[in-house]
Amino acid sequence: MKLEKISFLIFFLSLFITSKFAFAEECGLPFEKKSDNFVVGYGSLMNSKSRLGTAPTSEEFYPIVIYDYKRSFGQRGNFYKTTFLTSQNQNNSFFNAIYFKVSEDDLNRIDRRESGYCRKKVDNGKIELLGKDKNKSNKVFWIYAARAENVKPPSKDYPIAQSYVDLFLGGCFEAEIKYELKDFAKQCVETTDNWSKSWVNDRVHPRRPFDIPFAVRIDNLLKEKISFYQNIKIE
């Protein structure tokens, strides 16, 4: 009887360890040197100024749609008391974004920047390329996804910060203008969940300091799509 219990315990522990390492392997897989590696940017990485500060070779970017994933405000910052965007697997969902080629050094730097996320490989069947290049062969697409235990909606202590929204939507407008994509920025808003009244306008004293291109266009878009935006308080 004792032997049976020990055997069962060993079997259970082996399953736990196997599943744990399987999850660990899924996060941060090695750079694929025999393929072209691309990162999907769906938040601040959509913004050229923000992106190039981490990945200097990523000046060129291209529009993309990711299927069976959702984008939402759900990633709390460590140093910054802010809720950032994240992505999660969710069937029948989609969002628009950009993708950009990275070197191995670039990918390592982005990994450090996005350390609270899980970098996962996206199935090429869940990707639609919107630019002229529709060829997905020999291309690997990485996305920084939420770790389920970390997903929390915006709150009074961890609000949405306007300075971060400006980075995100500024990048959406960059793609819309460069590729002449009608309503691309509007789709960025529509395919993002967890817009919340826990939101502060920190443009005067940004929680994440930066210049604010497209500010008027961003405000007009948010007033159109987010009913309570005009009531967001200024810090």
pLDDT per position as a tens digit, 131-186: 888 999 999 999 999 987 888 999 999 999 999 999 999 999 999 999 999 999 99
The pLDDT score that the predictor gives to residue 89 is 95
**pTM of whole model > 0.85?**
no
81 contacts 118 by C-beta, under 8 angstroms: no
Across the strands, what pairs with 73? 85
Cβ neighbours of 81 (radius 10 Å): 14
- For domain 36-234, give its CATH number from 2.120.10.30, 1.10.10.410, 3.40.50.10800, 3.10.490.10: 3.10.490.10
39 contacts 99 by C-beta, under 8 angstroms: yes
